[in-house]
Amino acid sequence: MSDTKKKPAVGIDLGTTYSVIAHINDVGRPETIPNAEGDLLTPSVVLFDGDEVIVGREANKARTTELENVADCPKRQIGNQVYDKVFGDRRYPPEALQGWILNKLKNDASRVAGNFKEAVITVPAYFDEVRRKATQDSGFIGGLDVLDIINEPTAAAVAYGYQAGWIDIEGRVDQPINVLVYDLGGGTFDVTVMEVGKDRFRTIATDGDMRLGGQDWDQRLIDHVSENFKNNYGVDPRTDSATLGKLLRDCKETKETLSTRSRAQIECSLGSSSLKTEVTRETFEDLTLDLLDRTDFTVRQTLKAAKMKWTDIDKVILVGGSTRMPAVREMLSSLSSQTPDSTLSPDEAVAHGAALRSAMLLHEGSSAFRPAEIKNVNSHSLGVVANEVETGTPKVVTLIPRNTPLPVVSRKTFKTHRQNQESVLLQIVEGESINPEDCAQLGRCAIWDLPGALDVGTLIEVKFAYEENGRLKVKVRIGGSTNKSFRYEIQRPNSLTEEQLASWQQYICGPDDS
């Protein structure tokens, strides 16, 4: 057997709170690779300990004692120029922090899978193109060749498709089926409706709540216990950082306990005062009902966007550690009138799907897994800012509405508003509001060298081509006598240059790892 055929097929779920790495094992099944500490899940946390950088379990533990040296959830800040905390006197781009996490996963996994560089990394479906590119850069910094970036819900559907037997190994499905993926993790929530057909995974609609996850459920318990303590002793334990650190850890554990047991106790001590609070599952569910309702709302919105009813959904699949909470399962059972499928581990399904994708790409032709086609939609509307003719107020004009199947090309025509106008500034935005301030600024492109003597009302055609890989290309054509066209890749102020990427890679992986 040739070496290329035996390249390890590796997939990585680079999660907000936990990351998981998986490969296709000797018998052709996806399998999670434990890290050097023996855990399947690696906390996505980085600790700066003097000259040492520690990733994972120990870094996570240090959150309760030395939070100032800990970078947690860098994924939340991916797309920003720098992480918002300073360590020593240094600031780090989120890509570098994720690079350390990926490098640990890679090194730990190579003990089992053998040496490898290629891997598929997953991202949330709602990630815009800036954050996809930044994730790809994180992979490079961490010493990986990123084969593909695929959406987490798609990866989960791939894993279920192959392992739960909807699809046979030849890629056959009897009939296309509609799948709803409900993913509630530690810090984020998203819902995706997909169609799984022969050799094809097609996203139909996706939505999410970037600020909703298991941590919010933890916080409700912290508040409940703290209020109880305050009523007894008159002091708020949340004001003491060491006590708060301990509460964070204990309340998360208690929450997890309440998924299997119907009651649990949390002890809280501050100074010489100490109090045990008993929490039943029922109380916990009351305390967090509105959070669950928020997921219910997003699920309904997504179904609506997919133009479907519950009777159109053939399977509901559960992803993310927080879907272990019985209340989540009960809610989905009652909404969908079916038992959600949880045959695969909710923590591992995404990484397993990524490993399957990697096998499809690396071993094309020779793989047991036929390469499936993956069709995405854009998760946010894309447009430009233009001034309204009557009022002169800037507003967003959408070129590509959200949930449009990719690839797509869209054009809109605008008019110059001054005689002899010499320049056009095109501001590209992403978001659902017509107010530019409420949208994310993707970048801008300026045309300075318009041909002279353009009449007011000269037509300017803007063309957006959004590719399947989530990259956007922009073309501007000036009408009138000139018919000149300009092409732009968007300039992104926050992304790292080639030199910066190479230097971070050297710093994190060492000089021998190229």
* Number of shown-chain residues binding Mg ion (CB under 5 A): 2
Buried b (16+ CB within 10 A) or exposed e, 79-89: bbeebebebee
Residue range at the interface with ligand ADP (CB under 6 A); choices 4-12, 249-257, 278-286, 294-302:
249-257
CB of 319 to Mg ion, least distance (A): 7
* 461 labelled catalytic: no
Three-state secondary structure of 347-358? CCHHHHHHHHHH
* 276 labelled catalytic: no
Please pick, from the candidates 8, 214, 353, 443, the single residue that binds ligand ADP as defined by CB under 6 A: 214
Tell me if 384 sits within 8 A of 427, measured CB to CB. Answer: yes
Ranges assigned E (strand) in 111-242: 118-123, 145-151, 177-184, 189-197, 200-209
CB of 123 to ligand ADP, least distance (A): 11
**216 interacts with ligand ADP by CB under 6 A:** no
Tell me if 256 sits within 8 A of 41, measured CB to CB. Answer: no
The upper half-sphere exposure of residue 50, i.e. CA atoms within 13 Å in the direction of its Cβ, equals 0
Pairing state between β 18-24 and 10-14: antiparallel
Please pick, from the candidates 8, 9, 10, 17, the single residue that binds ligand ADP as defined by CB under 6 A: 17
Q: How far apart are CA 363 and CA 465, in angstroms?
A: 30
- Of 4, 17, 8, 22, nearest to 354 by C-alpha is 22
Residue range at the interface with Mg ion (CB under 5 A); choices 181-189, 203-211, 261-269, 431-439:
181-189
Please pick, from the candidates 25, 163, 259, 441, the single residue that binds ligand ADP as defined by CB under 6 A: 259
**187 interacts with Mg ion by CB under 5 A:** no
- Which of ligand ADP, Mg ion, none has residue 255 at its interface (CB below 5 to 8 Å by kind)? ligand ADP
Q: What is the DSSP letter of 484?
A: -
Q: Which residue is nearest to ligand ADP (CB)?
A: 214
- Which of ligand ADP, Mg ion, none has residue 237 at its interface (CB below 5 to 8 Å by kind)? none
Q: How far apart are CA 167 and CA 199, in angstroms?
A: 9
* 133 labelled catalytic: no
- Within residues 346-375, the interface with ligand ADP by CB under 6 A covers 347
Of 13, 129, 148, 348, the catalytic one is 13
Please pick, from the candidates 132, 324, 380, 402, the single residue that binds ligand ADP as defined by CB under 6 A: 324
- Smaller CB distance to ligand ADP: residue 7 or 352? 352
Pairing state between β 315-319 and 373-375: unpaired
Residues 174-213: x/- map of binding to ligand ADP (CB under 6 A)? Answer: -----------xxxx------------------------x
Of 183, 190, 207, 209, the catalytic one is 183
Dihedral class, residue 496 (left if φ above 0, else alpha if ψ from -120 to 50, else beta)? beta
Of 72, 137, 152, 209, the catalytic one is 152
Cα separations (Å) of 346 from 181, 254, 341? 11, 19, 10
Q: Where in the sequence numbering do the catalytic residues fall?
A: 13, 75, 152, 183
Residue numbers of the site for ligand ADP (CB under 6 A)? Answer: 15-18, 185-188, 213-215, 252, 255-256, 259, 320-322, 324-325, 347
